[in-house]
Amino acid sequence: MGPRAVGPRAVGPEAVGPRAGETGAEPPRVTAARLGGQGVVGLALSFVDNAGIARVKGVPIARLADAAEQGVGMSPVFDTFLVDDSTTQGRWLGGPDGDLRLFPDLGRAVALAAQPGWAWAPADRYHQDGRPYAACQRQFAARTVARAAGHGLRLLAAYEVEWTVRREDGSLPTGGPAYGLHRLTDLSDYLRDLLTALDEQGLAVQQLHPEYAPGQFEVSVAAEDPVAAADTTVLVRHTVRAVSAAHGLRASFAPAVAPGGVGNGAHLHVSLWREGRNLLTGGPGRHGLREEGEAFLAGVLAELPALLAIGAPSPASYLRLVPSHWAGAHHCWGPENREAALRLVPGLPGRPETANAEVKCFDGAANPYLAVGAVIAAGLAGIEAGAVLPEEVGGDPSDRPGVPRLPQSLPESLAAFEASEVLREALGEIAHDTFAAVRRAEAQLLAGLDPEALIDATRWRY
Ligand code: GLU
Ligand code: MG
């Protein structure tokens, strides 16, 4: 099996529809000419590793067609990188040997509005002989989407992006209150430039608003095919970073930014569809759930302790994941409950397309491809088992004895991950083992640090 003429592409069903700015099956040379016409001189090809960090290779635009056809070399060692750029060793991967080919998905190639002269595309990773690389996180997400499609199911997904800004000297650029209009005036030009850049890149922004923590903001985007949603969140964060830099600011997407404070979540919204019908609404179940929709959510809920190793993968994640911080620290679900790890959003009257479920316990250290793929795999396991949801929880579960907490440390969620047959099977032995090795090594690397030191070690890494 060798690469196709235009390079391998992630498998998976068609995306929701043509995206703004999407080029579809445009030949690479046409993409190169189009981007060149927009003043692009370099293409950044990125993927997100097991540490949750986007890594990149760049090529001059003259080499774009070559990169699309032959791929770009990159070592597989990055799959064993930790948050501090040191490396570990898994059973299958790690060490200096070998090389892979990075293939840009030119359907997502876009000129970067906040980085004139640059374009970006997400990349899939293949072996040199064209075989898909077992630890490619983006192809994992695509495989689970394809599995769902095999059951006649389609998913829509979106990540919320939360971040906090600081000036270069560490001071806050706004003293405005939580959700305060005040913050919009303090940082008016910055936020305008951000909206402009996101829009120019074809991203469908739904909301931009100040969040709870000092200097914290959030942007949400429209739901789309799950792989596209993960690509989008990489691009949104890259854009936030670039616009921040242009305004002399630094953006942190880290789970925790101040001891005891509210952190940055990366909540994942998903909805499940069969034959154009949203399975999370319009049915006979609680809050209109249809049977399959409920089984999917029950599957996700059951796997949440194991999913946390992916969705809250840093030792610092557990500084954020505490009760009464809207982070979803309790192992329960509830309609419109911002303290439940799994919040059902029943949808607006007469608008079935708005019903979805929000995995609230995930944060910005997570690899978005692994996180969405793993959630889908857990949901499909729920459907296969005909799972049902337990009793819902309303209000703050801290006030209700008997509602269990999710794991409170990385070693705890890692133990659940290692025991999860659902995730082992979905990821495959190599990806499962390598991811666990990275988590184990990060837990050791950062063990014993007090909250301040743990935050310092992770604040600017994601
Ligand atoms: N910042 C909160 C978190 O850590 C979430 C706030 C919200 O509900 O949007 O997840
Ligand atoms: Mg929020």
What is the DSSP code string of 357-395? Answer: EEETT-BTTS-HHHHHHHHHHHHHHHHHHT--------S
d(CA 296, CA 385): 9
Q: What angle do CA 142, 147, 149 make, to 5 degrees?
A: 95
With beta carbons less than 8 A apart as the criterion, state whether 81 and 52 touch: no
Q: Is the CB of 265 under 6 A from ligand 1?
A: yes
Q: Is 251 in the pocket of ligand 1 (CB under 6 A)?
A: no
Place of tokens 């034959």: 275
- Which numbered atom of ligand 1 lies nearest the CA of 216? 1
Domain-by-domain residue ranges, the chain? 28-133, 143-458
Which amino acid belongs to residue 85? D
pLDDT by 10s per residue, the chain, length 462: 333 334 443 333 333 333 333 345 789 999 999 999 999 999 999 999 999 999 999 999 999 999 999 999 999 999 999 999 999 999 999 988 999 999 999 999 999 999 999 999 999 999 999 999 999 999 999 999 999 999 999 999 999 999 999 999 999 999 999 999 999 999 999 999 999 999 999 999 999 999 999 999 999 999 999 999 999 999 999 999 999 999 999 999 999 999 999 999 999 999 999 999 999 999 999 999 999 999 999 999 999 999 999 999 999 999 999 999 999 999 999 999 999 999 999 989 889 889 999 999 999 999 999 999 999 999 999 999 999 999 999 999 998 889 999 999 999 999 999 999 999 999 999 999 999 999 999 999 999 999 999 999 999 999
Per DSSP, the three-state class of 422 is helix
Q: How far apart are CA 445 and CA 278, in angstroms?
A: 44
Domain 143-458: CATH superfamily is Glutamine synthetase/guanido kinase, catalytic domain (3.30.590.10)
> Is 1.10.510.10 the CATH number for 28-133?
no
Tell me the per-residue pLDDT of 34-49, one tens digit each, with 9 for 90 and over: 999 999 999 999 999 9
Longest dimension (CA), the chain: 63
Is the C-alpha dihedral spanning 381, 375, 51, 15 positive or negative? Answer: positive
Q: Are strands 340-345 and 330-335 parallel, antiparallel or unpaired?
A: parallel
Task: Round to whole Å and give the CA distance between 141 and 93.
Answer: 20
pTM confidence score: 0.94
| Residue of 308, 318, 337, 360 to test ligand 1 pocket, by largest number of atoms within 8 Å of CB | 360
- CB 341 near ligand 1, within 6 Å: no
Q: Is 255 in the pocket of ligand 1 (CB under 6 A)?
A: no
Give 287 Cα–ligand 1 centroid separation in angstroms.
23
Cβ of residue 268 lying under 6 Å from some atom of ligand 1: no
Task: Using CA atoms of 12, 93, 91, 454 in order, give the dihedral in degrees to the nearest 10.
Answer: -90
